[in-house]
Amino acid sequence: MKKTDLYKKLGLKIDDKLNKAGTPDRFAQGGVLDRKAQRKLDQAKGLIPFAVKLDAQLASDLRELALSRELGMNELVDALIRKGMSV
């Protein structure tokens, strides 16, 4: 194998690593937070985790409703519970 072929293969390896690395935070502007950072933001807002078990069909209906209203699941459930408790 020629020396130039070795350099071509090395270049391909480097390109492959760069493509698999993803977009740096400075370009994505830190779009995705890790769990620890998200937990601290939630605590600062006064939010606490609250787990419930729901029927699978109800959960899928809630997901569809959240997508149609362009809301997150947390905001949708918050609004629905507040509306239900006000009656």
Per-residue pLDDT tens for 3-59?
A: 898 899 999 999 888 888 766 666 555 566 678 888 898 899 999 888 999 999 999
> Which residues, including other chains, have CB under 8 Å from residue 42's CB and lie 6 or more apart?
48
Give the chain's domain count. 1
In a domain, 36, yes or no: no
Closest CA to 64 of 73, 53, 55: 73
Q: Is residue 72 included in any domain, yes or no?
A: yes
CA pseudo-torsion sign 55, 61, 66, 69: negative
Judge whether 37 lies within some domain: no
pTM: 0.54
pLDDT, position 37: 86
The confidence score (pLDDT) of residue 85 equals: 93
User: What's the rounded Cα separation, in Å, for the pair 29 and 81?
Assistant: 33
What is the predicted pLDDT for the residue at 19?
81
Instruction: Please give the residue range of the domain that contains residue 71.
Output: 48-87
Q: Is 28 part of a structural domain of the chain? A: no
Q: Using CA atoms, how far apart are residues 24 and 31, in angstroms rounded to an integer?
A: 10
Tell me what the mean pLDDT of segment 79-83 comes to: 94
In a domain, 31, yes or no: no
